[in-house]
Amino acid sequence: MSNNKIKVGISSCLLGDEVRFNGGHTQSKYCTNVLSRYFEFIKYCPEVSAGFSTPRPTMRLYGNPTASKLVIKGHENQDLSDKLIEPSKKHLEKTNDLCGYILMKKSPSCGMFRVKVYQQNGHAHQTMRNGLFAELLMQTYPALPVEEEGRLNDKALRENFIMRVYAYSNFMKYVQNSEKYGDIIKFHSRYKYMLMAHSQQEYRYLGKLLANSHNQNYEEIKTEYLSRFMRAIQTSPKRRNHINVLQHLFGYLKKHINSDVKIDILNVIEQYRKHEVNLITPLTLLKHYFKQFGSDYLNSQYYLQPYPSELGLQNEI
């Protein structure tokens, strides 16, 4: 499996490195015990890379939330932002093959959300922001799946993030370095039902983009497609959207299965609608009959298996 692992960036402290301001770590057991079997983690600590000591004085963001600076508590006149940003830029240039990133929450460098910005009176602004490295990361690679480790405790957010990492990896593997227009068409086709579950409107837009792009710059088309595609799948689909897709997929079987089987499948979809079963149940049933009666087109849909089934993520949504 090691040769097939996807490269994903991660805050060093989440892998157990003692690089926190207090000399400790915040090891994520889910990352080290589960995701490490599928991801090749590329660890990085912006503060250590910048040369700050471990342990070190408390660092925080200071000033205006829209243009804050990194300072040491009690030394607010000294702006350390550039000292952190410059080595981080070099790091990101060398790691342009990452397919996702997991960040440490609330950190003035790595926090993706809810990072406090302090005022001259010592109190934090009500408005929060992302950390300096997190901001640089998302500006440098705007389509890259990025998530805070703490949010991976939420089952829906965890499933969505891992799905996006695999989708991004598939695009990089099969489309990004290809000059064949057919490869992006194939990618779009295989992600049809995944896109429909997230946004039918965006699925139609991307289809028109590709249909009308034969005489346009292919590199520009790939960039726009990836940006729109990753934005479309950034949030978890609503249950009714999944049901709509399940019913679409069921439609392919109508001519091949008897009435009793039809009733069984529709009953399971209805159970999913009522929150009585999770998504894996109707998907497993559909995949069973697709093996007998489905086409290569159906069986190649990433919606049916967007990531290794061993992760068990569809058991939780």
Asked if pLDDT for residue 23 goes beyond 90, the answer is no
The pLDDT score that the predictor gives to residue 1 is 40
Q: What is the DSSP letter of 275?
A: T
Nearest Cα residue to 17 out of 110, 83, 79: 110
Q: Which residues pair with 41 in a beta bridge?
A: 8
Q: What are phi and psi of 253, to 5 degrees?
A: -95, -15
**Which residue in the block uniquely carries the two structure tokens 């057991």?**
29
How confident is the model over 99-120, as a mean pLDDT?
95
The yes-or-no verdict on residue 254 having pLDDT over 70 is: yes
Average pLDDT of the residues in 77-91 = 97
Residue 12: pLDDT band by 50, 70, 90 thresholds?
Answer: very high
Q: How confident is the model at residue 22 (pLDDT cuts 50, 70, 90)?
A: confident
- The rounded percent of the chain whose pLDDT value lies above 70 is 99
pLDDT band at 2 (very low <50, low <70, confident <90, very high): very low
Residue 40: the pLDDT is 98
Compute the distance between CA of residue 278 and CA of residue 314 in angstroms, rounded to an integer: 7
pLDDT tens-digit map of 207-247: 999 999 888 999 999 999 999 999 999 999 999 999 999 99
What pLDDT, on the 0 to 100 scale, is given for residue 3?
65
- Whether 306 has a pLDDT exceeding 60, the answer reads yes
Q: Per-residue pLDDT tens for 25-46?
A: 899 999 999 999 999 999 999 9
The arithmetic mean of pLDDT across residues 293-301, rounded, is: 93
DSSP structure class, residue 277: S
Least confident piece of the model among 110-119, 211-220, 235-244, 266-275: 211-220
- For residue 7, the tally of other CB atoms under 10 A from its CB is 16
